[in-house]
């Protein structure tokens, strides 16, 4: 199982947007900060905008900015925005195919036990992601690596027009 790179990019970008505050930052600048392909990062940011996590400001001094306070953005929100809302494990009901297809349909009203078990595990994952907000991440990073935060703010002042 593999999660797309976009999630990592989006999370770091959100963190950066959180540091610099309330002004929009262009996708190109965000990309430059982490040395990423700007056009592709733009795509991920669009996904964040569609999900209501970020606002996209068009025009000359446009860019992206967080749509709400970091306390109200969970990691789950970001992951779901980039990777899509559906579950990793998808039950295709193979129990009903082949030999299973001769059994009466009544028996399959209840969901497949395997699907239930997998969904349960995935729920634990989702819960853990929902429990952590962007603000929590900010606290951790600020305590552990304040120099990086300082650097981000300096950089923003520099590119500020």
Partner DNA sequence: GGACGGCTACTCGGATATCGCTTGTCCGAGTAAATGCGG
Partner DNA sequence: CCGCATTTACTCGGACAAGCGATATCCGAGTAGCCGTCC
Is 19 near a copy of itself (CB under 8 A)? Answer: no
In whole angstroms, the minimum distance from the beta carbon of 160 to DNA comes to 11
Return the H-helix or E-strand segment holding 41.
helix 38-50
In whole angstroms, the minimum distance from the beta carbon of 28 to a copy of itself comes to 12
3-state secondary structure of 57: strand
Is 60 near a copy of itself (CB under 8 A)? Answer: no
Which residues within the stretch 91-110 sit at the binding site for a copy of itself (CB under 8 A)?
Answer: 91-92, 94-95, 97-103, 107, 110
Is 11 near DNA (CB under 7 A)? Answer: no
| Contact region with a copy of itself (CB under 8 A), list: 18-26, 43-51, 54-62, 90-98 | 90-98
Q: How far apart are CA 75 and CA 96, in angstroms?
A: 36
**Would residue 64 be called left, alpha or beta, if left means φ above 0 and alpha means ψ between -120 and 50 degrees?**
beta
Largest CA distance in the chain: 70
3-state secondary structure of 142: helix
Is 127 near a copy of itself (CB under 8 A)? Answer: yes
Is 124 near a copy of itself (CB under 8 A)? Answer: yes
Is 64 near a copy of itself (CB under 8 A)? Answer: no
75 HSE (CA, 13 A, CB side): 15
Q: How far apart are CA 123 and CA 70, in angstroms?
A: 23
Is 15 near DNA (CB under 7 A)? Answer: no
Is 73 near a copy of itself (CB under 8 A)? Answer: no
Candidates 3, 21, 23, 37; binder of a copy of itself (CB under 8 A) is 3
In order of 47, 59, 134, the CA distances from 10 in angstroms are 9, 22, 12
Q: Give residues in contact with DNA (CB under 7 A).
A: 2, 4-6, 24, 26-29, 37, 39-40, 42-43, 45-46, 49, 56-64, 84
């Amino acid at each position: 199982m593999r999660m797309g790179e976009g999630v990592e990019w989006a999370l770091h970008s959100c963190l950066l947007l959180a540091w610099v505050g309330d002004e929009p930052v262009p996708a190109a600048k965000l990309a430059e900060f982490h040395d990423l392909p700007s056009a592709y990062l733009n795509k991920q940011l669009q996904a964040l905008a569609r999900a209501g996590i970020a606002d996209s400001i068009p025009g000359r001094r446009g860019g992206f900015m967080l749509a709400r306070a970091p306390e109200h953005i969970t990691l789950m929100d970001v992951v779901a925005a980039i990777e899509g809302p559906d579950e990793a494990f998808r039950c295709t009901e193979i129990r009903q195919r082949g030999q299973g297809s001769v059994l009466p349909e009544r028996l399959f009203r209840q969901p497949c036990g395997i699907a239930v078990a997998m969904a349960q595990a995935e729920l634990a994952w989702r819960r853990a992601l929902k429990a952590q907000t962007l603000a929590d991440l900010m606290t951790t990073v600020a305590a552990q690596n304040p120099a990086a935060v300082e650097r981000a703010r300096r950089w923003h002042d520099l590119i500020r027009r």
